[in-house]
């Protein structure tokens, strides 16, 4: 996978992550992003293009060296009306692009932080999990 192809995958991931968070929160979220890596030094980006570039810079090295397990946590909506996402990488060695831990293509694992979840949506119900599965946001069927 080329770097440009990987960046397109990140853009698709951000759109899916937004939808994922909307389903968990039960409300529409803004279409602007803020991102922060959970490293010793906090590296931040604002705006979809900058977020995409920052993720690519840390996760993609070349077509056969991509970190395989990266948590993307939707933390909250900021005062500036952006979706705040934080990122953490597991300690696995980079490898070829492929099916990740979540069973989706690529390294990204979608996580909902406490600032997004709400009691409005029963996120533990079988119906909710099946809806995520049908939308391609969960890659195992709960049936």
The model's pLDDT over 62-120, given as tens digits with 9 standing for 90+, comes to: 999 999 999 999 999 999 999 999 999 998 999 999 988 888 899 999 999 988 877 78
Using alpha carbons, select from 96, 121, 114, 120 the residue that is nearest to residue 106: 96
**Residue-range domain boundaries for the chain:** 3-117
Instruction: With beta carbons less than 8 A apart as the criterion, state whether 138 and 101 touch.
Output: no
The model's pLDDT over 8-64, given as tens digits with 9 standing for 90+, comes to: 999 999 999 999 999 999 999 999 999 999 876 778 999 999 999 999 999 999 999
pTM for the predicted model, two decimal places:
0.90
Burial classification of residue 91, based on how many CB atoms lie within 10 Å of its CB (0-12 exposed, 13-18 middle, 19 or more buried): exposed
């Amino acid at each position: 996978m080329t770097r440009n192809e990987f960046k397109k995958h990140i853009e698709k991931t951000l759109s899916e992550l937004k939808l994922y968070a909307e389903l968990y929160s039960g409300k529409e979220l803004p279409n602007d992003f803020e991102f922060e890596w959970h490293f010793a030094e906090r590296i931040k980006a604002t705006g979809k293009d900058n977020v995409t570039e920052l993720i690519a810079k840390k996760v993609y090295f070349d077509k056969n060296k991509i970190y395989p397990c990266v948590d993307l946590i939707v933390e909250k909506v900021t005062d500036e009306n952006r979706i705040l996402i934080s990122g953490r990488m597991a300690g696995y060695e980079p490898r070829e692009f492929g099916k990740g831990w979540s069973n989706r293509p690529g390294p990204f694992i979608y996580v909902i932080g406490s600032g997004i979840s709400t009691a409005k949506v029963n996120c533990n119900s079988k119906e909710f999990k099946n809806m995520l599965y049908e939308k391609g946001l969960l890659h195992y069927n709960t049936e």
